[in-house]
Structure 1
């Protein structure tokens, strides 16, 4: 009896401790540390929609194409040139610390060998292979964290309530047994992904169609964390995620979140579309990335592979150029914190974790004098990151009897600029201190 009681007590304590780890703010902060330091992830929208080059899932939802014609793309999804090692090499070269790949989009087509139904590229497409497993294996060989995108919505499953614009199918409240059957299905897929791949990060999508209670979001979180307590979850689980995910457009002001991530495409679409040639340039991506990091966030930059498993040349070029810039300026990006408030410097800034080094990001071919306001610290040295050039500066307007610091003017000569974005390193005599007052006014 005593052994039984001790065993029960041990099991209860294990569950309690695990639950505390899942909800305790300190524990969450500790497990989010790698994410906060990572700064850059690569998002990969791989799916049958690349065959015709149409909107992923939404094309049939929005009646651009019939559902039957959309699903015919299964027969053209080959992956005949898919090389997960080269994909992982490209992710590594970009400087990204994590990658997120679609395991299933709203169309219900699994990109791995699901045992919950037969709608997968393993069973229903000529690809006849699991896309996720070998990619995660290659990422982990390179020390890159693995993320799984998973759509809660499944517009192909017979027990899902239907499309947003299709009122002909059932409502959850009118047929709860059917909804429970669907919940068993999608939670079964989450369980098998969790067991097979052990994602470091879960990127849910589609939660807007139902409430947290209907999704059983708390249960979903428990399913994941009971198996892998270190996993982190994005904010699209009806309040049961760890960080926020603004999409496509950068917030004008700094988001009031502990952790956030901007997900953005390299052109105008998530998946591969032959007709979409509106590619963002390396300069545009780099300046967006710098702005995100300066505001304390991460960039999840999306690419859309072709149906044969190759990545468009334009996307490869952007990732390589971004990677070269990251390698040169890594010190100012990775393992840093968001910079000083806007208005002190007209451009993005970051800080070392001890706040004794301030990094200033200068776009384009700027030269001449740069102004820094309100810096109430002594500058020990200013250099150009990546080439070591030492810069001169002077302080203007400092009055000996006033606590208001002067304006710092930094001389940036021609010939030291990066072709995309130059980064200046300011070594300070103490952790950064800023004057935030109203000047000489009483």
Structure 2
């Protein structure tokens, strides 16, 4: 009897485990295949555009944090014109930056849709002087440029009457106390996701706001399943309570390499996501390039944000950064796109990447580096050193290699001042075979 009971129990456990796995996990091989374009892309452009650009205030959070009343915030709808919106110019600028994908805010936490939603809720088409669907022409322009389409979508909707939010029409309630009301919101939310998915078929979904509810309450397995039914190859960010494909650290880049297979650093060019004229803390092209190099060195991407004005024009400081970044990306493309993360910490004092076959090591030289740089623990023989984007070649010098010891010496490379890039110089070390590193303790036993 005990033996039969244990057999039954083990079978039930087996079914439960496999059921959970099927719902919450993805086949590792299939996810790796569909994530390849993302891993190769390295750079995306984030676009925060909404009614918050009228007064130049925090997107949604300004009324949440009581800097402004909800009614005054929503009154910005009357001032949103998109009168100078040129999606073709946007797409051309994104292409020039070197970005391979772009993510548009289809709806922020304020609930204002940038497309002609069929749901009874706010949209730019029905409630603003713009009176137009802003997504259709933008995604069409991206398609023409060969840029992957990304859709930011807020799970939170603080303006919807059935969301347990913070407006005069909605009181904070527990989902368990009023499940019917919560279900009404979920139906509305899924309907809007379905509209975006069926109309635009985004290559990438960038969800936000999942922290307010659990995966069970959000029904995130269903959200994922419904998206993939229409576009199986779509990828989803990690802000879906465990049902996404990659992680999204925000503003602060990791000090050590993240353990995630795929990740993306989302970063602003000043201190805010949307247009705020009082925010003049613009990052320089060098600072953006340095942050970008650090991200790809650690195996990640960068999603660089711009915040257009209400009329659809992009601030000139952001245009300048995108153009300078694009110029640098074009010159150093071989060291950036379709590479993998580089050396572990301690081998080189700067960012690095590797060709996919690990036979070319790229060294990014931060600042105006002239004179000797050093690489530690490189077992390989260096065949050639090239200054990427130029015809110049450099010679290595190996120091401290003892004939009877298997421990490699230190590689010094003298970098002449006249080969330096305006922002960041990159060297390509062509190796005799795939990268091999010594990571021991030197001569210590």
TM value normalised by structure 2? 0.94
- The answer as to whether partners of 2:24 and 2:243 remain within 8 angstroms in 1 is no
The alpha-carbon deviation at position 315 of structure 1 amounts to: 0.1
Q: Partner residue of 1:420?
A: 423
Q: Partner residue of 1:361?
A: 364
Q: How far does the alpha carbon of each residue in 1:336-395 deviate from its partner, in whole angstroms, 9 at most, with x for none?
A: 000010110000000000000000000121100111100000000001001121111210
What aligned pairs does 1:67-216 form with structure 2 within 5 A after superposition?
Answer: 67-163=70-166, 168-216=171-219
Are the structure 2 counterparts of residues 439 and 22 from structure 1 closer, same or farther at C-alpha, using a change threshold of 3 Å?
A: closer
What aligned pairs does 1:274-285 form with structure 2 within 5 A after superposition?
Answer: 274-285=277-288
The alpha-carbon deviation at position 22 of structure 1 amounts to: 8.0
Q: How far does the alpha carbon of each residue in 1:188-207 deviate from its partner, in whole angstroms, 9 at most, with x for none?
A: 00011000000000000000
Q: Distance in 1 between matches of 2:170 and 2:87?
A: 41
Report the secondary structure of 1:174's partner residue: coil
Q: Partner residue of 2:306?
A: 303
What aligned pairs does 1:27-46 form with structure 2 within 5 A after superposition?
Answer: 27-46=30-49
**2:231 is aligned with 1:256:** no
Are the structure 2 counterparts of residues 215 and 311 from structure 1 closer, same or farther at C-alpha, using a change threshold of 3 Å?
A: same
Report the secondary structure of 1:213's partner residue: helix
Q: Partner residue of 1:246?
A: 249
Unaligned runs of 5+ in 2: 1-18
Report the secondary structure of 1:179's partner residue: helix
Equivalent of 2:329, from 320, 326, 332?
Answer: 326
The alpha-carbon deviation at position 163 of structure 1 amounts to: 3.4
Count of residue pairs brought into register by the alignment: 425
Unaligned runs of 5+ in 1: 1-15
- The answer as to whether partners of 2:121 and 2:160 remain within 8 angstroms in 1 is no
Q: Distance in 2 between matches of 1:364 and 1:236?
A: 35
- The answer as to whether partners of 1:303 and 1:315 remain within 8 angstroms in 2 is yes
Report the secondary structure of 1:133's partner residue: helix
Q: Distance in 2 between matches of 1:208 and 1:163?
A: 16
The alpha-carbon deviation at position 20 of structure 1 amounts to: 10
Q: Partner residue of 1:336?
A: 339
- The answer as to whether partners of 1:384 and 1:422 remain within 8 angstroms in 2 is yes
The alpha-carbon deviation at position 215 of structure 1 amounts to: 0.3
The alpha-carbon deviation at position 168 of structure 1 amounts to: 4.5
The alpha-carbon deviation at position 116 of structure 1 amounts to: 1.0
Q: How far does the alpha carbon of each residue in 1:98-147 deviate from its partner, in whole angstroms, 9 at most, with x for none?
A: 00000000000001111112410010000011111111111011110000
Report the secondary structure of 2:55's partner residue: coil
Q: Partner residue of 1:220?
A: 223
Report the secondary structure of 1:116's partner residue: coil
Q: Partner residue of 1:347?
A: 350
The alpha-carbon deviation at position 169 of structure 1 amounts to: 2.8
Equivalent of 1:434, from 426, 433, 437?
Answer: 437
What aligned pairs does 1:43-82 form with structure 2 within 5 A after superposition?
Answer: 43-82=46-85
Q: Distance in 1 between matches of 2:363 and 2:410?
A: 15
Are the structure 2 counterparts of residues 203 and 384 from structure 1 closer, same or farther at C-alpha, using a change threshold of 3 Å?
A: same
- The answer as to whether partners of 1:22 and 1:28 remain within 8 angstroms in 2 is no
Q: Distance in 1 between matches of 2:173 and 2:214?
A: 16
Q: Partner residue of 1:11?
A: none
The alpha-carbon deviation at position 167 of structure 1 amounts to: 9.9
The alpha-carbon deviation at position 21 of structure 1 amounts to: 13
Q: How far does the alpha carbon of each residue in 1:51-87 deviate from its partner, in whole angstroms, 9 at most, with x for none?
A: 0000000000000000010001000000000000000
- The answer as to whether partners of 1:271 and 1:303 remain within 8 angstroms in 2 is yes
Report the secondary structure of 2:322's partner residue: helix
- The answer as to whether partners of 2:23 and 2:221 remain within 8 angstroms in 1 is no
Q: Partner residue of 1:271?
A: 274
Q: Distance in 1 between matches of 2:102 and 2:408?
A: 44
Are the structure 2 counterparts of residues 353 and 246 from structure 1 closer, same or farther at C-alpha, using a change threshold of 3 Å?
A: same
TM value normalised by structure 1? 0.94
Report the secondary structure of 1:123's partner residue: helix
Q: Distance in 2 between matches of 1:238 and 1:346?
A: 36
Q: Distance in 2 between matches of 1:168 and 1:100?
A: 32
